[in-house]
Amino acid sequence: MDDIESCTRPLGRGSVFCYGVGHMLNDVTAACWFTYLLVFLTDIGLPPRDAATIMLSGQIADGFATIFSGELIDRFGHFKICHIAGSVLVAISFSSVFGVCVPCKIFKTDSATMETVGYSIFAAIFNVGWAATQVSHMSMVNCMTLNPTSRVALASCRNAFTMVANLSLFAVALAVFNLSKPKTPVDIENQYRWIAYLSILIGCCFVGIFLVGTKEPRLRQEIEGKSLHRISWKDWFKKVLYYQVALVYMLTRLVTNVSQALLAFYVINDLQMAQSSKAIVPAIIYIFSFVVSVILQEMKWTGQRIKAFFTAGGILWIFSGAGIFLLPSSLHNLMYLLSVIIGVANALMTVTGISMQSVLVGEDINGSAFVYGSLSFLDKVSCGIALYVIESYQDFSSIGSLSITRYGLSLITASCALLGVLVTYTINLETPNLKHLTEPLLA
């Protein structure tokens, strides 16, 4: 009973901080993946459909890898071993995603088909490693503490350092874009290769902090005497809450990932902004997401408050989508204001969306990895399909006087946000009495 009581105490600042930085390598490479992959592939001459095929192959590999990783962790535990293995795969393969097409060099051909196959292979390897790291890191939350507010604090800290990772990427990208002026496809490739290398270096430094400062969670063993058995995946499928949370999380990730992937095209092609805006606009979004994430982790949380804050984020995104749809290129400076609103909305939806997963798992920690893995599967596959469909229609250039990018960035994201709000309204989030985090994280 003493072990159980100790697990319900709020976590301290150090534990929350060290956990929060553990996803930095994934976050900085994912930011590069969603923000610049499609731009990079089309810049080196691949058709939009082929570029989307490469991203889809990675997303599908990621989706299935999350299920496999979740099953392994639920059976054998060893969160940190899975985290390390995934991080090594990410670090090794990511440079090739933005580098030279290795199969093209081996077979001495530059055909679009071989380039598509070559980049797809490394995209799949990268996403397998990414999935292993993600599932192990997310599922650790429920095995580190039983305290609901500390779980929200962990999710919020993780999200805050997601913003740090993204800001780091955009700072690197802004420096690279300003220092080098590409004149050939080779120059473009070298730009993105430097961005990839520096992203890997930054991420690996923070992974080291996580591995040193975070112990392997022992909560599963400590509460073994509480008759906790391994939850079957069939049991999760019998819970209505599982489907509700899965849908909310999938819609949240669709909003954030689709918007991130299309934003660079929108500011350059639709709004006719400067090349530096590819880094500045996303940076503004992540600065305000970071600030809001830090504020959220200092609050007391109930199920109703989680729902209310998610709803607020969804409503902000609906207004942002309308603004993106209507914004003319002559008023492109208003995009900076929209970036502030999007940043706040992203933080509200992401932190509370992830917190809903912790409420769903509750004390059923022996099945937590399956929950995070299966929900991530929906996230990855749905994002891959959505972006593939959008990019497949890029060849048609526009619908009426507006581009496909504008429609995708505004209507798809706003529709997903609206549906997420409606589903959240129907959810019954029951949480025990919550205790406030004893220390501020980034005071």
Encode pLDDT of 337-382 as tens digits.
999 999 999 999 998 988 888 788 776 666 667 787 788 889 889 9
Q: What is the CATH number of domain 231-430?
A: 1.20.1250.20
Query: Which amino acid is present at 168?
Result: S
Structure tokens at 175: 């420096």
Identify which has the larger pLDDT, 373 or 124: 124
The β-bridge partners of 398 are 403
The β-bridge partners of 399 are 402
- Count of beta carbons in the 10 Å neighbourhood of residue 61: 23
Distance CA 59, CA 78 (A): 25
Positions of CATH 1.20.1250.20 in the chain? 12-213, 231-430
- Count of beta carbons in the 10 Å neighbourhood of residue 344: 20
* pLDDT tens-digit series, residues 165-197: 888 998 898 888 888 777 777 787 788 889 989
Q: Where are the beta strands (DSSP E) in 56-130?
A: none
Mean pLDDT over the full length of the chain? 84
Contact call for residues 103 and 193 (beta carbons, < 8 A): no
Contacts of residue 200, defined as CB under 8 A and 6 or more positions apart, other chains included, come to 25, 29, 90, 91, 94, 95
**C-alpha separations of 312 from 119, 244, 305, 317, 319 in Å:** 39, 18, 10, 9, 11
Contact call for residues 71 and 377 (beta carbons, < 8 A): no
Identify which has the larger pLDDT, 137 or 396: 137
| pTM of the model as a whole | 0.77
The β-bridge partners of 403 are 398
Distance CA 277, CA 305 (A): 35
- Selection from 357, 366, 372, 371 nearest residue 74 by Cα: 366
Q: Rounded to the nearest 5°, which phi and psi values hold at 199?
A: -65, -45
Q: Which of 155-159, 268-272, 437-441 has the lowest mean pLDDT?
A: 437-441
Identify which has the larger pLDDT, 434 or 89: 89
**C-alpha separations of 53 from 112, 115, 279, 387 in Å:** 12, 11, 25, 9
Identify which has the larger pLDDT, 111 or 120: 120
Please compute, for residue 86, the number of CA atoms within 13 A of its CA located in the half-sphere on the CB side.
32
Fold of the CATH domain 12-213: Growth Hormone; Chain: A; (1.20.1250)
